[in-house]
Chains A and B, each alone.
Chain A
Amino acid sequence: DAKTTQPNSMESNEEEPVHLPCNHSTISGTDYIHWYRQLPSQGPEYVIHGLTSNVNNRMASLAIAEDRKSSTLILHRATLRDAAVYYCILRDVRRGADGLTFGKGTHLIIQP
């Protein structure tokens, strides 16, 4: 799978929007962009994924650049519960079942 680059940490205020960036300049046409998050002392939790078009769900929005070399996870109104490590992961849809490749992710800090 192609590699992703994320900032080590970001800080935001409660009830404000948060934009978490991810660069993936070597992405291939069959790579899906996945986001997971891991709250303290818990297992990872699926957030959202997409291929080319922007995606929305109840947790977040995913904005994908037109050239697909970057994407942004948007939390519309951050709460203290959103403090977590956020992982941006590429998965080639042609690949088999050999799991997700987690990097170090972005540690999101939410200030009250």
Chain B
Amino acid sequence: NAGVTQTPKFQVLKTGQSMTLQCAQDMNHEYMSWYRQDPGMGLRLIHYSVGAGITDQGEVPNGYNVSRSTTEDFPLRLLSAAPSQTSVYFCASSYRVGTGNNEQFFGPGTRLTVL
């Protein structure tokens, strides 16, 4: 298994540009999520999905859209990039919904800079 994969690894955008961060997992996990990590901070939840066709907002959803058309893929869209969205973005997945007793698997991250 490749686990959780993310593309691209690095990206530089200009303010106002849009882009999509890709996330895929090959473990047939029903739960997927996106986090952002700012320098020196812990991760914060942006959006999550409990299965294909179902998404919900996390702690910091503004400026981001998600969709889940398949079990494997969970792309994150920046509609109009802002310098405040400069961060490292991590995608994660777990086998079952409800993270109390499940481990989460994280991707390697996408480092995004917005000028």
Contact = CB atoms under 8 A, between A and B. Distances in A.
A103 B35 CA distance: 13
Nearest to B34: A99
Contacts of A46: 103-105
A55 to B, nearest CB: 12
A32 B101 contact: yes
A97 B109 contact: no
Nearest to A44: B106
Interface residues of B, number: 29
Q: Would you call the interface of chain A mostly helix, strand, loop, or mixed?
A: loop
A29 to B, nearest CB: 12
Contacts of A91: 99-101
Interface in A41-99: 41-46, 49, 87, 91-99
Interface of B: 4, 31, 33, 35, 40-45, 48, 50, 56, 58-59, 90, 92, 97-101, 103-109
Q: How large is the interface on A (under 10, 10 to 19, 20 to 34, 35 or more residues)?
A: 20 to 34
B109 A98 contact: no
B40 A43 contact: no
Nearest to A48: B103
B104 A100 contact: yes
A30 interface: yes
B97 A97 contact: yes
A42 B41 contact: no
Contacts of B104: 36, 44, 46, 100
A100 B98 contact: no
B43 A102 contact: yes
